[in-house]
Amino acid sequence: MFKHILLATDGSAASDHAAQLAVGLARTHGAKLTALYAVDPYPYMGLGEVNPMGFQAYMSAAQADAATAHAKVAVLCSQGGASVPLEARMLEDVAVASGIVQTALSEGADLIVVGSHGRTGIARLMLGSVAARVVAESTVPVLVAR
């Protein structure tokens, strides 16, 4: 049924749970898995003078976090029988939810798997929900893991 699954990962416990589901589905369906780590655009661009060391430190930390998140997914892909073909990608300079949806479309994914922290009330209003925005924007089916 699924040939290409896009997993949105950020290394959190919620995305670790989503990764387990995505790898299981990919293994069951013989699908390719793309693990995408999307980086929010640098938050201080355009505000006063730009400090290049601040941007470099921000991107360095994002790359380290992406490598850690991708390594967790790679371990899952290699465990439990047949290995799952994995492509690890990092995306930057676009809002996270939009980047996930755009990547799914450009890569030809037929399912997006994303974790949700399950926030409600004021916390959800203040912090927002990437998963909710992905569901709202995507024409590709989305599986939200909680």
pLDDT band at 143 (very low <50, low <70, confident <90, very high): very high
Provide the CATH number for the domain around residue 82: 3.40.50.620
Contact call for residues 117 and 14 (beta carbons, < 8 A)? yes
Number of structural domains the chain divides into: 1
Domain span at residue 85 reads 4-145
Whole-number average pLDDT of the chain: 87
Nearest to 36 by CA among 91, 115, 102, 93: 91
Contact call for residues 140 and 110 (beta carbons, < 8 A)? yes
φ and ψ of 4, to 5 deg:
-145, 120
| DSSP class of 115 | E
Q: Is the pTM of this model over 0.85?
A: yes
- How far, CA to CA in Å, does 81 sit from each of 7, 28, 74? 20, 11, 14
DSSP string, 20-62: HHHHHHHHHHT-EEEEEEEPPPPTTTTSSS--HHHHHHHHHHH
Per residue in 93-134, pLDDT tens?
Answer: 788 999 999 999 999 999 999 998 755 555 444 445 889 899
pLDDT band at 53 (very low <50, low <70, confident <90, very high): low
Average of per-residue pLDDT across 22-45: 90
CB burial class (10 A; 0-12, 13-18, 19+) of residue 29? middle
